[in-house]
Structure 1
Amino acid sequence: MEFPEDFNQLELLNSHGHLIPRGASSLWTGSKDEEEEVEEEEGDHSEEWYGEKEETLKDNPKVLILWAAENQRLATVHRLLTADPLLVHCCDEDGYTPLHRAAYSGHVDVVSALIAAGSKVNPRTIDGWTPLHSACRWSRVTVASFLLQHGAELNAQTNGGLTPLHLAASHTTPFRTDSPHTLELLLSQRHLKPGLRSSSGETAGEVARRTGPHHVLFEMVEDCVNVVPSRE
């Protein structure tokens, strides 16, 4: 799919971010009733509710492990992977793996279990998102740190040229209290390339200046880039 030169993927995220597949949402067709069901699933539920949900999915282990990874059902994830280790590599129709789901939802214990079971650290969705992109889009700073420690591609770019830093810099996540922490984590990485541009031509710093109050954090890297070694 081709986009015009002035296409801004981050602006599309701002206006249509709620449509990004997350958790079990990519399993639904998008009707109002189904959207309400997804919202309900994201709240707190009893152990009985989770047990009933798992029972309804027991005959579809691929769907079950995606759901379990999203909902922090660690014992279920372990059980499924013991029965079929290859489930760690499964994905939904949008290319989201169990690792994407756990990263998106901020479940570092599930992320750790999946990687220990052989999950690739940098699988790509059909839009080119890695689990680190997902973690940074939703300010899951603990997960982002864990992924980086286990080989996540710091400067990976989506099909639209967005890096994890671009997504962390866009001040649109509902978890805004963690936004500066995610930015600080990424900006402190030695091999960060803050000058990478999206398909719309923006750097992450320019996105931050356009969308929120945390652009001052980019001085961490700007000062380093602008330092001229002394010739004395």
Structure 2
Amino acid sequence: MEFPEDFNQLELLNSHGDLIPRGASSMWAGSKDEEEEAEDEEMEHSEEWYLQKEEALTDKPKELILWAAENNRLSTVHKLLTADPSLVHCSDEDGYTPLHRAAYSGHVSVVSALISGGSKVNPRTIDGWTPLHSACRWSHVAVASFLLHHGAELNAQTNGGLTPLHLAASHTSSTKTDSAHTLELLLSQRHLRAGLRSSSGETAGDVARRSGPHHFLFEMVEDCVNALPVT
């Protein structure tokens, strides 16, 4: 899929967010079969199903650790890293590492295990996404907090200039409390640069006012007016 250089990435996220590359196969040009497969993956599965999947990937350790990180298979992640610590740095064709996978799926324990196992905290996908971008896009506030405490780049920008704050602001709802909590977490960070603009010229505050119910939270980072008389 090709886009002009000045296209608005956030508008595309809102309209086609379900097609963001997640995992071993990019779904930007997804077919109906791929969409159905993605829906099936979101369903709850039995332990037997997970064990069968792991067995099928036994001879493909890179694919297995990526899958295990995404599916919260902590014991499998530990086992794989014990056998081959270098697996923590592998990635899929879109540049997503095990840490990205765990971050966008909201698995704090797996995120912790991967970082303890030597994972870089700020690896980049081919589109410039860090794990913090992924956690904030899907409102996983606990993961975002953990990553920030371990050196995640708060103001990192994607190839399109999007910061974690842009992504948190673009994916909010009044019924999903974690979306507000994710914004509060980012806005409370001392070194936040809330005025950074995307390639389309928008700040995260602009995005929040346009697309979300929590734009009032950005008052936390607005310049204060000094009401005291000048002496």
For the aligned pair, the TM-score class normalised by the smaller chain equals over 0.9
* Whole-angstrom CA distance in 2 between matches of 1:155 and 1:175: 27
Change beyond 3 A, Cα 1:75–1:173: farther
Report the residue type matching 1:192 in the other structure: L
- Number of residues paired by the alignment? 229
Distance 2:218 2:174 in 1: 21
Give the TM-score normalised by the residue count of structure 2: 0.92
RMSD of equivalent CA atoms: 2.2
User: What per-residue deviation string (whole Å, max 9, x for no partner) do you get for residues 175-202 of structure 1?
Assistant: 8331100000000000000000000000
**Structure 1: gaps of 5 or more residues:** none
For the 8 Å contact 1:24–1:38, the answer to whether it is kept is: no
The answer to whether the 8 Å contact 2:22/2:101 transfers is yes
Partner Cα separation in structure 1 for residue 68 and residue 175 of structure 2: 22
Please say if residues 139 and 173 of structure 1, whose CA atoms lie closer than 8 Å, have aligned partners that are also in contact: no
AA aligned to 1:114 is L
* Counterpart residue type for residue 32 of structure 1: K
Q: What is the aligned-residue identity percentage?
A: 80
Instruction: Report what 1:123 is aligned to.
Output: 123
Structure 2: runs of 5+ lacking an equivalent: none
* SS class of match (2:124): coil
Quote the Cα distance in structure 2 between the aligned partners of 1:31 and 1:53.
Answer: 23
* 1:3–1:28 Cα change, 3 Å: closer
> Which stretches of structure 1, 4 residues or longer, exceed 2 Å deviation after superposition?
1-5, 23-35, 171-177, 225-232
Report the equivalent of 1:74. 74
Cα deviation, residue 41, structure 1: 1.8
Mean Cα deviation higher: 169-178 or 58-67:
169-178
Decide whether the 8 Å contact of 1:138 with 1:174 is kept in 2.
no
* Aligned equivalent of 2:108: 108
Cα distance in 2, alignment partners of residues 13 and 163 from structure 1: 14
Structure-1-length-normalised TM-score: 0.92
Contact 1:72 1:102 in 2 (8 A): yes
Could you say if the C-alpha distance between residues 220 and 113 of structure 1 is closer, same or farther in structure 2, counting changes exceeding 3 Å?
A: same
Alpha-carbon distance in structure 1 between the residues aligned to 2:26 and 2:42? 14
State how 1:2-21 maps to structure 2 within 5 Å.
3-5=4-6, 7-21=7-21
CA distance change for structure 1 residues 12 and 30 in 2, over 3 Å: closer, same or farther? closer
Q: State yes or no: 1:207 paired with 2:207.
A: yes
CA distance in 1 between counterparts of 2:57 and 2:27 reads 12
| Cα deviation code 1:152-175 (max 9, x no counterpart) | 000000000000000000135798
